[in-house]
Amino acid sequence: KGTLYVVATPIGNLEDLSPRAAGILESVAVIAAEDTRHTARLLKHLGIECSLLSLHEHNEAGRVGQLAAKLDSGEDVALVSDAGTPLISDPGFVLVRALREGGHRIVPVPGPCALVAALSAAGLPTDRFVFNGFLPAKRGARRSSLETLSERGETLVFYESPHRIRDSLEDIAAVLGDRRVVLARELTKTFETFLDGTAEQLLLLMDQDPDQSRGEFVIMVAGAPPRDIDTASLDGKAILQALLA
């Protein structure tokens, strides 16, 4: 039986593709890619020729049988997305779940991932974090999504596009207040920038320099501070009685 390799590809800088990833892309019978034209450009850069098959959110379920049959016939398959690690806010989950349930061999080939790169250089706590993917597109849903996270003590991580970065920062300011926010922009690319401040301060920076709202973003927000217990209002006798009971 063949193997499905889940291969991470660069999020900007093409030098980030590992030699192991390149070797695997060269060796497999077929590469299932989110956007075949996009991956064709990467393969051209690497000097690799391989047949490509599209696998995106709209056809993923339909591809499962076809790719399972390839693996059953002993051929290896690679899964890639446009950038970074497949399945991380990218297609692949439906395929990987089905193949794992079917007893196929699935091997990760790790590499770039925007959220990990962003956290590794942000200076916010990384011992525990909550990755939330993209916030909802509509303001109401976005605010309620932020509200459900507002008590979490872990660092909050979001992906965001240039179209909505300002709207999301406005809602973060409104719902989460003046916590520290670190914005990682254009990671591994020429204009890579880390901005650090409250959401309101970052919005002001973007007013002054509109270039700061262009490109791809990872938004990281400090977790909720531990709640102060108001010791003065505690009723010691009542607590003792409850414990004894």
Longest dimension (CA), the chain: 77
Residue in 5, 159, 171, 183 binding ligand SAM, rule: CB under 6 A: 159
Residue in 186, 196, 197, 200 binding ligand SAM, rule: CB under 6 A: 186
CA geometry: angle 111, 17, 6, nearest 5 deg? 50
Residue that is written with structure tokens 């889940």 in the block: 6
Query: Which residue, 68 or 85, has its beta carbon nearer to ligand SAM?
Result: 85
Q: Within positions 196 to 225, which residues make up the interface with ligand SAM, using CB under 6 A?
A: 216-218
Binding track over 93-132 against ligand SAM, x by CB under 6 A: --------------------xxx-----------------
CA distance linking residue 199 with residue 183, whole number of Å: 9
Query: Which residue, 66 or 89, has its beta carbon nearer to ligand SAM?
Result: 89
CA distance linking residue 146 with residue 139, whole number of Å: 10
User: Helix or strand or coil: residue 10?
Assistant: coil
Minimum CB distance to ligand SAM, residue 240 (Å) = 51
DSSP state at residue 194: E
Question: Can residue 170 be called a binding residue for ligand SAM (CB under 6 A)?
Answer: no
Residue nearest ligand SAM, Cβ-based: 84
CA distance linking residue 208 with residue 224, whole number of Å: 29
Q: Within positions 24 to 53, which residues make up the interface with ligand SAM, using CB under 6 A?
A: none
CA distance linking residue 20 with residue 23, whole number of Å: 5
Residue in 85, 168, 212, 213 binding ligand SAM, rule: CB under 6 A: 85
